[in-house]
Chains A and B, each alone.
Chain A
């Protein structure tokens, strides 16, 4: 039985607070594995001034919840939480946080990595890079598809 939670928001989030919430939700959590994604400075257009994140309200939450449910079915986890920002972000801003709690680190590590790999290929978000030179939609990467596929072998 695990507690799964997905939040899509415009505001920034506090990584320490999120970790604390996950840990206090289960007293048997011997391990918490987490990932934080940031907006990088450089894109294809050179130095970014802004990253715009669009999503599909309603489907985004559902898609990520399904990813966490899949993780919970494959590994023995106690809880998992994803926070993903949308809207207008700047280089250095946090975009996403994935945290997984488990009794043991093997399950926590694997479930966290799996959740990120699947989120990258299934969650309906689209990024647009804005730089002095112009604006450009980010293309999906084959490397992300490969990373997601390796969980299926």
Chain B
């Protein structure tokens, strides 16, 4: 099981802040998880999730799309940050 979280304007666009995904054997990388999410959400989710501007964080560390994922991981997708 992988926990996926969304924040900021992305969370609003998708209408979801968190979901759980069963990790299938094909789900090896962050990119694979993104593909699974697009399959789940359809066209409405595709343009939002495939944006180059999005940042991905795996277990609270910023990673790229080729990073491996494992059961129990938490993966977050979010827009560029605006704190401070």
What class of interface size applies to chain B in its complex with A? 10 to 19
Asked whether, in the complex, the Cβ of A137 is within 8 Å of the Cβ of B8, the reply is yes
Asked whether, in the complex, the Cβ of A55 is within 8 Å of the Cβ of B83, the reply is yes
- Nearest-CB residue, chain B, relative to A63: B60
Asked whether, in the complex, the Cβ of A126 is within 8 Å of the Cβ of B7, the reply is yes
- Contacts A54-B7, A59-B60, A124-B7 known; A95 to B78 CB distance under 8 Å? no
Which residues from chain B contact A62 at a C-beta distance below 8 Å? Answer: 60
Instruction: Determine the distance from Cα of A140 to Cα of B8 in the docked complex, in whole angstroms.
Output: 12
Which residues from chain B contact A134 at a C-beta distance below 8 Å? Answer: none
Which residues from chain B contact A54 at a C-beta distance below 8 Å? Answer: 7-8, 11
Asked whether, in the complex, the Cβ of B81 is within 8 Å of the Cβ of A124, the reply is yes
Asked whether, in the complex, the Cβ of B76 is within 8 Å of the Cβ of A138, the reply is no
Asked whether, in the complex, the Cβ of A120 is within 8 Å of the Cβ of B9, the reply is no
Instruction: Determine the distance from Cα of A58 to Cα of B57 in the docked complex, in whole angstroms.
Output: 12
Asked whether, in the complex, the Cβ of B84 is within 8 Å of the Cβ of A116, the reply is yes
Asked whether, in the complex, the Cβ of B78 is within 8 Å of the Cβ of A56, the reply is yes
- Nearest-CB residue, chain B, relative to A125: B83
Smallest beta-carbon distance B67→chain A, Å: 15
Chain A residues proximal to chain B, CB less than 8 Å: 37, 53-56, 58-59, 62-63, 84, 95-96, 116, 119-127, 137-140
Chain B residues proximal to chain A, CB less than 8 Å: 5, 7-9, 11-12, 57, 60, 62, 76, 78-84
10 nearest A-B pairs in the assembled complex, by CB-CB distance = A125-B83, A140-B80, A126-B8, A59-B60, A137-B9, A120-B84, A138-B82, A123-B83, A127-B82, A119-B84
